[in-house]
Amino acid sequence: MRFTITRENFLQGLGAVAGSIPTRTTLPVLSNILIEAEDGAVRMSGTDLDTSVSVRVPAEVAEPGAITAPAKKLQEIARELPGATELSTQGDSILISSGRSRFKLNGLPRDEFPAFPRVDFTESWRVTGAELQRLITHVSFAASTEETRPILNGVLWQLRDGEMRMVATNGHRLAKMTLPVEAAAQVPAADLIVHPKALQQVQRLFGGDAQVEVARSENHIGFRSDTVQVYTRLIEGPYPNYEQVIPKDNDKNMVADKGALQGAVRRMAIVASDQTHRIRMSLGGAMLRFSVESPDLGAANEELPVEYDGEPLEIGFNAQYLLELLRYMPTDEVKMTFKAPERAATIQPLGNEDTPEYLCLVMPLRLLS
């Protein structure tokens, strides 16, 4: 194998694949990138056995071939090279030259690299990179990171006639976004549970203007464009009925400026307990009153003008969860709804007809009298 590649293309390919390389592994070849030189391009691939990424970048190929190279060292070398780079192989070694620099890295044969999952794209569907990015950004953060309920470690991607939806929850907070799908897209009805780490790769590697082809096998889902491929193992099992926990009878409504609400919650969080992050919200009239008491630190109070209709209510929340949900609200104004101190509250963006259908839910914390 021998090819010449620009520094920019070399770094682009290595950077795209680097996120799929495990930091620790008992299988040495998983620390390597598979490099395949073909007509006019080089394909670079990496995998941690759950998520696999492959990108194709332009290069001048003199001799086709393939080998695996240590991913971390190859990326470190590429960052320091002065310009265009020539790579060639000598047995299981990779020779790298650029300007007056010469490197020789020990590689492993292509045969040792795991095969990518087989996903049949004959029954694929298409979505735009912008749609995927919007859904992933606003939902995947809410997935659980605890191993006690593995199904909640995934993001539910529901495909229906005319719409697609993503939902994620950790049992304390929930995020749900629905986007319409053009009739011509022909999206199949399906419920897929995808790991957030894989979705972050999809979000990172497919630009907003990309046309992404998606297909699934029994256990895997694949995303591909002309130059990028991402495959990941689906999480198996039924996702909890999230509709049951979304309140339908919240009768107390508050409208507030998102930035002002974020600022007040952030200030209260400074004095809140490091364990519970509990803050108290007192609703009634045109002022929202915040208060925090922490035996170790002290106390804090703040008032914020809001629009509120409903009976007076005192309710407690984890300030970190509130800040997280507010961060992803895509509008300047937000609406919160409440029922009772022990019932879930919802947060929604207030905008125009272009505002996506987006709802977040947060469970309250018990207030100490």
pLDDT tens-digit readout, 237-293: 999 999 999 999 999 999 999 999 999 999 999 999 999 999 999 999 999 999 999
CATH number at residue 71: 3.10.150.10
**What is the gyration radius of the CA atoms in the chain, in angstroms?**
25
Domain final residue pick, 222, 240, 258: 240
Which of the four pLDDT bands, split at 50, 70 and 90, describes residue 181? confident
Task: Calculate the CA dihedral of residues 245, 251, 252, 255 and round it to 10 degrees.
Answer: 80
Give residue 183's pLDDT: 56
Are the CB atoms for 300 and 284 separated by under 8 Å? no
- Judged by DSSP in three states, 203 sits in helix
Element (H, E) at 267: helix 258-271
Domain assignment present for 203: yes
What is the domain count for the chain?
Answer: 3
Mean pLDDT of the chain: 94
Q: Judge whether residue 157 has pLDDT over 70.
A: yes
Report how far residue 278's alpha carbon sits from residue 300's, in angstroms, rounded to the nearest whole number.
12
Q: Judge whether residue 369 has pLDDT over 70.
A: no
Q: Judge whether residue 65 has pLDDT over 60.
A: yes
Which of the four pLDDT bands, split at 50, 70 and 90, describes residue 185? low
Q: Judge whether residue 184 has pLDDT over 70.
A: no
205 with 258, same domain: the answer is no
Stretch 68-74: mean pLDDT? 96
36 with 59, same domain: the answer is yes
Domain assignment present for 369: no
Q: What is the DSSP letter of 258?
A: H
Residues with Cβ within 8 Å of 143's Cβ and at least 6 positions away in sequence, in order, are 152, 153, 154, 155, 168, 169, 170, 196
C-alpha distances (whole Å) from 291 to each of 270, 303, 336 are: 12, 9, 18
